[in-house]
Amino acid sequence: MNEQTLFHKIRDKQIPSSIVYEDDEVMAFKDIHPKAPTHLLFIAKKDTDFVPSIDDLNEATAHVPGLLIRKAQAFAKAHGISGYQLKFHVGKGGGQEVFYLHLHFLSEQKIEA
Ligand code: AMP
């Protein structure tokens, strides 16, 4: 049984967040301490896709980073964002604070949402 992280609670809507995108597979919400005019976090929603960090990927979860990147790309296209940065913080030494794999999406362009 995995420990429930802050992002499990956001995913399960036990903690409020500013959700900008959601489907059956992923959710994207605004980072509470934005480092760019648009700073979003993409997470996979399914329990079977849960992995704490890039460092913990295995055969069963290897597809998850690609899923998050694909959804971020589609989100950018849908919102007319032509330039952005995608980042994974890996491990405490890599600046990771929340051990629920998430993709940072940063852009100088603002979204309406
Ligand atoms: P990381 O350092 O990659 O683990 O990123 C965790 C991110 O979560 C940081 O950029 C925080 O600002 C962000 N964060 C922490 N608490 C919340 C929250 N309640 N809602 C949205 N973002 C949060």
**In this predicted model, what pLDDT tens digit does every residue of 4-41 receive, in sequence order?**
999 999 999 999 999 999 999 999 999 999 999 999 99
- In our burial notation (b when 16+ CB lie closer than 10 A, e otherwise), range 14-24 reads eeebeebbeee
- In our burial notation (b when 16+ CB lie closer than 10 A, e otherwise), range 28-57 reads bbbbeeeebebbbbbbbeeeebbbbbbeee
Per cent of the chain over pLDDT 70 is 97
Centre of ligand 1 to C-alpha 98, Å, is: 7
Does 102 participate in catalysis according to the annotation? yes
User: Which of 69, 68, 48 has the alpha carbon at shortest distance from 59?
Assistant: 48
pLDDT value at 112 more than 80: no
- For the chain, the C-alpha Rg in angstroms (whole number) is 13
Centre of ligand 1 to C-alpha 88, Å, is: 12
Q: Which atom of ligand 1 is nearest to the CA of 29?
A: 21
pLDDT value at 1 more than 50: no
| Full set of structural domains in the chain with CATH | 6-107 (3.30.428.10)
**Sequence-ordered alpha helix ranges (H) in the chain:** 6-11, 64-78
pLDDT value at 44 more than 60: yes
Structure letter (DSSP) for residue 93: G
